[in-house]
Amino acid sequence: MTPDLPTVWRWLEDVPDPEIPVISVVDLGIVRDVAWDGDTLDVAVTPTYSGCPATSVIAMDIETALYGRGVRNVRIRTRIAPPWTTDWLSAKGRAKLREYGIAPPSPAGGPEACPQCGSANVTRVSQFGSTPCKAHWRCDDCLEPFDYFKCI
């Protein structure tokens, strides 16, 4: 039996991002489309940036999750246009980032608050964090370091 697309989307919500495992590839906004082409499930994925080292791991994890649910023919298509933007992060994904200790992206160009204590008294330590899509910040009240997911 061929699963319907809402079911496939729910399954993909269980596939974690390999660099930030508390957020799914769906909540990250990189799964752009899912469609049946005959008996093949096409999954369009837009990486967070074209040189993202996790792109092949993400594709493999998506395939593995779908194969595990009985989907036998999966085609992953990398779609680079339009480019991924942090606007594609779901509200649920932003909340999960914050709960994990990563400040979600903000149009202001920096974190709105420390994800640990909620203080707005924060300082950028470095434009570069644990991955290229994050910057390193510190809270000047609780003194905890944290990553900020850069706006793209």
Quick one: 42 and 70 in the same domain?
yes
Q: Are residues 15 and 65 in the same domain?
A: yes
Would you say residue 96 lies in a domain?
A: no
Mean pLDDT (the chain, rounded): 94
Domain check: are 24 and 66 in the same one?
Answer: yes
| Residue 18: inside a domain | yes
Tell whether 129 is covered by a domain.
Answer: yes
Domain that holds residue 33: 5-86
Domain assignment present for residue 50? The answer is yes
What mean pLDDT do residues 119-135 have?
91
Share of the chain above pLDDT 90, in %: 85
What domain count does the chain have? Answer: 2
Cis peptide before 132 (omega within 30 of 0): no
pTM above 0.85, yes or no: yes
Q: Mean pLDDT across the stretch 113-123? A: 96
Residue 92's pLDDT is 96
Q: Which of 44, 62, 86 is the endpoint of a domain?
A: 86
The answer to whether 113 and 98 have CB atoms below 8 angstroms apart is: no
Residue 91 inside a domain? The answer is: no
